[in-house]
Structure 1
């Protein structure tokens, strides 16, 4: 599944799922544009290390995904965009009647509206190139719901709907758009939560993972960032050229319940 000669832009990709996806795309031969809202030396060093590891071109471009203008500028600055992975996202947990309005606005902007802006800017570039792949990182929460996550669930359901519309608008072109719906993925952020959960529930590591953190994930195993990245690579390959407008769940059976 070689992606040699393609340029992939991955939003929110200096850590976690986004970084894992970027690594797998680079491993498949794609040049990569990393992105986040910071502009630190370590961000650019991350790009240099990925380039050296995979033998491809990797750049880091700062863009705040809460700003539609910066989302669109990211695509313009990249210069090429054969593959777009809309991954950037944040979370906040609270009851609806206690949910901070600013947090709601930020989650909708970063988790949903950013995908609209980047896609709108990327489609003309893909059409000019005669080929394109859009992969939206949704969530199991794009297909189901949990209490206290109103903004996140609304945004991820929105991403699934937006994916379908994008696919229909490009159905007769060599461009596809699909959504990956991960369940719980073992990222550094999730890993950092395990010790606190062990203390809170007075459980050992294995028990707190199985009975608390993965309560809704039937496999009782975290997905890995490499697995999410591998799914993205498949969706970008020729093997998936007739797969468009759909969701692929990588959730250990969560949405089968």
Structure 2
């Protein structure tokens, strides 16, 4: 019996590592994955799958994780991930948030996962159409859960998309890790470190001017050794507006969830300190009741 439990624990740990390696690190331009390596039911998570249509006709696949009724905070968090993988790489992120009482909605951008086909240049950092995808998911969440507070957890490239949307949509909060404050600067740093040329969409030069216009409460998480979206960038971003807070962790780009874990050797605690920082911020900002 003990041997079986050890084997099960080891298998689950391999699943966690596979998910993290598959989607939790930046690809330094678009690297979508069309295959779901795992689905929420493989972790015993309750969820509903739903297809959404964007105004321009794209089809988006979404998964909604509903927390236990007694723990339900009546807050919905939409995950806008980075430039690689698909939403199946974030099962443990969703599990940690759902266990804390948050309703979580994950989705795939067009061209990713099981969403619509979309012609992607693998050397491009992002497309403006991804913002339309996020707007569509947020609109559906508002309609389906009108009494919930609604916000976005964004990662790396996803912070660009979420910031674009936050300036023209009402959000109750925005959380960003590996926050891109200047796409051009990000591209230059990747070129210097990785020798890779990344293409930006035409409107990318207008993006930095949007950031001071984000008026909802903003929580920024950054690794102290992040060479691409640096601590200095995040500090400057937080200083641009009110109701902004910075969380620094000892790590590199997008290392927040595995680093902010109380017992790294225990996959069941994955991201618990990360989620606690989110809850503390949302409580301080009045999104959650204390």
Shorter-chain TM-score tier: 0.3 to 0.5
Structure 1 or 2: more helix by fraction: 1
| TM-score normalised by structure 2 residue count | 0.37
**Larger relative contact order, structure 1 or 2 (CA cutoff 8 Å, min sep 6):** 1
| TM-score normalised by structure 1 residue count | 0.40
